[in-house]
């Protein structure tokens, strides 16, 4: 009796996790369907302003020595009447980049630009606090926001601003483009991940009347919409998602323009990518706890509420993915002889169907996105196993983020390091610059490697004893993901310590400003 109970424990846990993951996987199919159903609903061209309104461009910075001058120069090159453009450099920097940004502002001010350099001595509220502080002296009716790693196109403001002739539009989000898309397998994978979010999710939600989120950068807000929604708040790590939902609950619409792009830099190394994903995941959990009850109690239609539920709770997949990776082999091997036998054909069939649906949902979602933006979607198909591996590899770090968000664990806003890659630098220049960013020693990379080695042992057992050998292809993907992410993280940690000891920091010359 005890043995039968022990056999059912891993299969039961695995089955529960698989069911929940499949539900979220099926939601991806639904988003693809929603995208195709609404892709032909191209919004009508807006009525244009008879006189262009005044716009404030905000650039939140924090220790951005390698990209501060680049983004300031790009914003000053925007094709918008200079007399109607205010630029705010919101700098919380504590290193030499503060002087570099201040000098860049002074040089452009001498050229006739209305550009403010606002430096805070405290990071109170982090990015949200800097944006809120800048609004106090902003003179624009509309506020455009660009993070430090963005290089906005000259025509961006003119392509967006006329959308606001509709008095119900509170925000317009553009599609992110990627300066260093082809730099490595890691950046290619990130680009595909983000393309899925922008091309499929944003288009489907925006054109079907669901709630969407401002992505924190590459967009323009109506100032009155920010104020009406309660302003920038810093009780979550995703202040952009928080404000987006509050604004839409107050009746404002957020419009997505997929044909207007804002180029930006992708994190070229694994630690920066994981930090970014950790912050986004934890912030979405915090926003869910803060606003989802309000959304569900609101008078919004049920399709809006259901989509908001899946959107805000999507982080739950990460702890479940970790459990699936750990339980995958025990469920099929040790419980397989007793549970997954001819006596239980329905259970075997159900689990096989669920796992197949789950596996192909991600591939379908991302390949369709590549096809729609005219990227090489055949290459995207070939990358699907690698995408699955990367997604599995970062699942442990993101699972920790989910737990921290649910338990109310407070942490600072850890910004994603920017290296200034993707324009004119040599491919390896970012590696020298990466030494400027320290990485705290954490147990997570060691745990990732440990899970990878555990899965390797499971594969050996499966092949040696011919137990659940059909699981081996999937376990290979899981194993590769954990070992790839964990080993790269450990290597980056070692490399950063070596570079910091050598004090090999590269500082850009102020003469490179213009």
CB 504 within 8 A of CB 432: yes
Which of 195, 240, 242, 499 is an active site residue?
Answer: 240
Residue 347 confidence (pLDDT) above 60? no
- CATH 3.90.550.10 describes domain 36-269: yes
274's tokens: 């994981």
Average pLDDT over residues 463-483: 82
* pLDDT for res 42: 80
Distances (CA, A) of 59 to 88, 162, 216, 421, 434: 6, 22, 11, 19, 22
7's tokens: 């056999």
Nearest to 398 by CA among 268, 229, 273, 239: 273
The residues that bridge with 150 in the sheet, in sequence order, are 264
* pLDDT for res 341: 44
Strands 169-178 and 219-222 come out as antiparallel
Average pLDDT over residues 196-215: 95
Residue 260 confidence (pLDDT) above 90? yes
The full length of the chain comes to 514
Residue 506 confidence (pLDDT) above 70? no
Active site residue 95: no
Residue 335 confidence (pLDDT) above 60? no
The pTM (predicted TM-score) of the whole model is 0.90
Average pLDDT over residues 223-252: 97
Q: Between these two residues, 322 and 19, which has the higher pLDDT value?
A: 322
Residue 58 confidence (pLDDT) above 60? yes
* Secondary-structure percent of the chain, ordered helix, strand, coil, rounded to 5: 60, 10, 30
Residue 344 confidence (pLDDT) above 70? no
* pLDDT for res 513: 43
Q: Between these two residues, 327 and 56, which has the higher pLDDT value?
A: 56
Residue 494 confidence (pLDDT) above 70? yes
Residue with tokens 């992410």: 485
Which of 91, 92, 195, 242 is an active site residue?
Answer: 92
Residue 502 confidence (pLDDT) above 70? no
Given pLDDT bands bounded at 50, 70 and 90, which one contains residue 278? very high
Residue 398 confidence (pLDDT) above 70? yes
Q: How far is Cα of residue 214 from the mean position of the Cα atoms in its chain?
A: 12
> What is d(CA 435, CA 504) in angstroms, rounded to the nearest whole number?
7
Q: How far is Cα of residue 151 from the mean position of the Cα atoms in its chain?
A: 18
* pLDDT for res 458: 87
Residue-range domain boundaries for the chain: 36-269
Q: Give 177-192 pLDDT, tens digit per residue.
A: 999 998 889 999 999 9
Nearest to 180 by CA among 391, 507, 381, 427: 427
The residues that bridge with 116 in the sheet, in sequence order, are 88
Poorest-confidence range of 161-175, 347-361, 456-470?
347-361
* pLDDT for res 357: 72
Average pLDDT over residues 290-299: 97
The side-by-side arrangement of strands in the sheet containing 55-61 is 114-119, 85-91, 55-61, 142-145, 219-222, 169-178, 253-264
Residue 280 confidence (pLDDT) above 80? yes
Distances (CA, A) of 234 to 285, 315, 389: 14, 20, 33
Residue percentage of the chain with pLDDT more than 70: 85
Residue 159 confidence (pLDDT) above 90? yes
* pLDDT for res 499: 58
Q: Give 85-95 pLDDT, tens digit per residue.
A: 999 999 999 88
Poorest-confidence range of 72-81, 220-229, 394-403, 417-426?
417-426
Distances (CA, A) of 341 to 2, 350, 473: 19, 13, 21
Poorest-confidence range of 86-100, 261-275, 414-428?
414-428
Residue 509 confidence (pLDDT) above 50? no
Average pLDDT over residues 74-102: 95
Mean pLDDT of the chain: 86
Poorest-confidence range of 127-136, 315-324, 467-476?
467-476
> What is d(CA 275, CA 214) in angstroms, rounded to the nearest whole number?
20
Residue percentage of the chain with pLDDT more than 90: 62
Nearest to 326 by CA among 481, 475, 443, 485: 475
* pLDDT for res 487: 93
CB 366 within 8 A of CB 292: no
Phi, psi of 85 (to 5 degrees): -120, 120
CA-based max dimension of the chain: 84
* pLDDT for res 334: 61
Q: Give 400-411 pLDDT, tens digit per residue.
A: 999 999 999 887
* pLDDT for res 498: 61
Poorest-confidence range of 199-203, 302-306, 435-439?
435-439
Active site residue 240: yes
Given pLDDT bands bounded at 50, 70 and 90, which one contains residue 352? low
């Amino acid at each position: 009796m005890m043995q039968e109970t022990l056999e059912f424990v891993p299969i039961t846990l695995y089955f529960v996790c698989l069911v929940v993951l499949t539900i979220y996987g099926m939601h991806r199919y639904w988003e693809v369907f929603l995208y195709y159903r609404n892709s032909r609903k191209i919004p009508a061209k807006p009525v244009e302003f008879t006189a262009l309104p005044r716009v404030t461009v905000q650039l939140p910075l924090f220790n951005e020595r390698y990209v501060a001058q680049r983004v300031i120069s790009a914003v000053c090159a925007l094709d918008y009447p200079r007399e109607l453009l205010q630029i705010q450099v919101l700098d919380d920097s504590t290193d030499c980049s503060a002087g570099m940004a201040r000098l860049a502002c002074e040089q452009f001010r001498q050229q006739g630009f209305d550009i403010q350099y606002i430096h805070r001595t405290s990071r109170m509220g982090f990015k949200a606090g800097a944006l809120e502080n800048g609004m106090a002296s902003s003179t624009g009716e509309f506020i455009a926001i660009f993070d430090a790693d963005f290089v906005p196109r000259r025509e961006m403001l003119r392509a967006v601003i006329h959308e606001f002739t509709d008095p119900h539009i509170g925000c317009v989000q553009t599609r992110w483009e990627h300066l260093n898309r082809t730099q490595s397998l890691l950046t290619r994978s990130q680009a595909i991940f983000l393309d899925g979010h922008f091309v499929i999710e944003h288009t489907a939600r925006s054109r079907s009347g669901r709630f969407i989120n401002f992505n924190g950068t590459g967009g323009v807000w109506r100032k009155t919409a920010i104020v009406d929604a309660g302003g920038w708040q810093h009780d979550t790590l995703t202040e952009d998602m928080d404000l987006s939902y509050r604004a839409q609950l107050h009746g404002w619409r957020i419009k997505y323009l997929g044909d207007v792009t804002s180029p930006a830099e992708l994190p070229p190394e694994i630690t920066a990518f994981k930090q970014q994903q950790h912050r986004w995941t934890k912030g979405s959990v915090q926003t869910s706890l803060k606003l989802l009850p309000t959304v569900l109690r609101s008078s919004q239609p049920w399709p809006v509420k259901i989509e908001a539920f899946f959107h805000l709770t999507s982080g739950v997949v990460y702890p479940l993915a970790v459990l699936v990776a750990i339980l995958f082999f025990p469920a099929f091997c040790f419980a397989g002889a007793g549970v997954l036998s001819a006596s239980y054909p329905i259970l075997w069939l159900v689990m096989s169907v669920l796992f197949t649906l789950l596996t192909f949902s991600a591939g379908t979602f991302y390949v369709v996105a590549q096809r729609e933006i005219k990227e090489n979607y055949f290459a995207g198909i070939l990358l699907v196993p690698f995408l699955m591996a990367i997604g599995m590899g970062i699942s442990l770090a993101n699972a920790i983020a989910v737990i921290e968000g649910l338990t109310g664990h407070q942490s600072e806003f850890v910004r994603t390091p920017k290296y200034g890659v993707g324009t004119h630098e040599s491919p390896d220049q970012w590696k020298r610059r990466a030494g400027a960013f320290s990485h705290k020693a954490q147990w997570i990379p060691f745990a990732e490697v440990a899970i990878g080695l555990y899965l390797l042992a499971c594969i050996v057992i499966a092949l040696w004893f011919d137990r659940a050998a059909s699981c081996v292809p999937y376990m290979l993907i899981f194993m590769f993901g954990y070992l790839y992410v964990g080993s790269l993280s450990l290597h980056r940690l070692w490399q950063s310590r070596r570079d910091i000891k050598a004090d090999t920091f590269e500082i850009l010359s102020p003469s490179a400003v213009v």
